[in-house]
Amino acid sequence: MFNLLRMDLYRMIRSKAVYICLVFLLATIFLCYGIVFLVGTSQGQELAPRIGMGVLTEEYQDGNNLLEGVTVIEMIRQSFMDGGCYSLVLGIVAALFVCSDFQSGFVKNIMTLHRKRWKYIGSKLMTIGIVNLFYLITCFGFGMVMNLLFHRMVPFGPIKDLVFYLTWAWFVMTAFAALIIMICILTRSIGAGIAAVILFGSGIILYPVMGITNLFGLGEWFNYTLYYNISTGPSRYQTTADLKALVIGICFLALYGILSMTALAKQDI
C-alpha cells in the first residue's frame, strides 16, 4: 500500500488543482481579515473612508463589538471553516483525485498490480488526509500571520486550544472527504461527486430533511452530522462533551472507509 501512497502523493504534489484550491482558501482568509479590520477596529474605521469603503463603517456602527471575546481560532474558522467553504474545497479535491483514475482508465493498471482493493481505498484516504492536514496547518498559519499584520486584531489564545481544534477538525473533514470518495467509487462519476460535495458540504440537502423530521420530533440526528459538527464544534476543550465532534469524525471516517472498500471489492474494474 505504501507504493500506492507514494504514487498518490506524487500525483497530488503535481496537481494544479491542489494549489489553486489552497490559493482560494488563503484569499478567503485574507479577505475576511481585511473586512473585519475595516469594520471592527478603530484604525480600520478611520482607513475605510479613505479607500472608498466608508459604506462598511456606516452599516456597522457598532463594529467594535464584532471582536469581543474572539480569538485567532474563532476568527480563522469563521473565515473559511464554519460556513462550509473548506468542506466544498476539500471535497472537490477528493472528487477530482478519485474520479480521474476511473476517467483515464488508470484504475485498471492499479488493480492489475495490487489485487487487494482495500489498499487502493486506504491509499486514497491517507493521501487526502495528508492534503487535509497540509491545508489546515497552512491556512491557520496564514491566519496567524494575517493577525500579526493587522496589528494583533484578536488575541492568539492558548496553543493547546489550537491543537485540540485542529485534531477534531482533521478527523471530521477527512471523514467528509471519505464520504465523497465513497460516492465517487459507487458512481465513478465526477459530476455525481461534485454534486455530493455541494449538497452535503453546504448543507443544502440536510436542512430540508431536518425540517421534515422535526415535524415528527426526529430532528436530533442533525446534531450528529459532519456538517453540523464542523460548523458548531468546540474551539477549546472544557469537558468530555467537547469530544463529541472527534468521536463522530472517527466513526464516520471508519464507516465510509469500510463502505468504500466493500463497494470497490464488488465492482468489476
- 198-229 pLDDT, tens per residue? 999 998 999 999 999 999 988 899 999 999 99
| pLDDT in the model for residue 114 | 65
Over residues 88-107, the mean pLDDT reads 89
| Residue type at position 163 | V
- Model-level pTM? 0.91
Burial of 131 (0-12, 13-18, 19+ CB in 10 A): buried
Domain ranges of the chain: 2-14+72-149+157-265
Residues in the chain, overall count: 269
Q: Give the residue, 66 or 185, on which the prediction is more confident.
A: 185
pLDDT per position as a tens digit, 27-60 = 999 999 988 888 877 777 777 677 666 555 555 5
Half-sphere exposure of residue 106: CA atoms within 13 angstroms, side-chain side: 12
| pLDDT in the model for residue 151 | 84
CB atoms within 10 A of CB 152: 10
| pLDDT in the model for residue 56 | 55
Mean pLDDT for the chain overall: 88
| pLDDT in the model for residue 107 | 76
Strand positions, DSSP E, the chain:
none
Of 5-19, 61-75, 110-124, the one with minimum mean pLDDT is 61-75
